[in-house]
């Protein structure tokens, strides 16, 4: 975690309106530190800011057809630091898209809808419960 103990969240989506509304939702509900990016390239260029969680759009080619897509961005994030939790977002509710994301080490997959924010909130909460448990568990294991 970063020094402020706030969860640092990267939101990456080429849909400016969706990106803004997501940012507002998160800031309204919790004390996150948020950075938003409209491309995978910008997200990757700023990984040194050490995000805890990245919410990443699957497509990312709405502005620029040649832009790096979500899966390629995900792979590069994981290569940079496998500890960063990446939650993929897609406008398509397709099982093969979900499987693709999980295959590339996404923590979870959320379909863009009215309930997307609530789902994201739950996933981030469970992620932190899971991390806390993992920490406590390793502390316990070290003492065995």
Span 17-31, pLDDT tens digits: 999 999 999 999 888
Mean pLDDT, to the nearest integer, of 72-84? 96
Among 90, 89, 85, 88, residue whose Cα is nearest residue 124 = 85
Indicate the SS3 state at residue 90.
Answer: strand
**Alpha-carbon dihedral 78, 80, 83, 89, rounded to 10 degrees:** -40
> pTM here?
0.87
Alpha carbons 36 and 22: distance in angstroms, whole number? 10
Query: Does the structure show a pLDDT above 50 at 2?
Result: no
């Amino acid at each position: 975690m970063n020094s402020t103990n706030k969860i640092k969240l990267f939101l990456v989506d080429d849909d400016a309106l969706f990106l803004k509304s997501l940012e507002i939702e998160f800031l309204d509900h919790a004390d996150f530190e948020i950075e938003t990016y409209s491309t995978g390239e910008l997200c990757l260029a700023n990984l040194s800011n050490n995000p805890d969680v990245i919410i990443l759009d699957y497509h990312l080619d709405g502005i620029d057809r040649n832009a790096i897509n979500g899966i390629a961005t995900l792979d590069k994030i994981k290569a940079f630091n496998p500890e960063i939790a990446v939650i993929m977002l897609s406008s398509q509710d397709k099982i093969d898209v979900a499987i693709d994301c999980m295959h590339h080490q996404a923590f979870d997959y959320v379909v863009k809808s009215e309930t997307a924010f609530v789902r994201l909130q739950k996933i981030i909460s469970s992620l932190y419960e899971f991390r806390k448990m993992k920490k406590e568990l390793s502390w316990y294991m070290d003492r065995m």
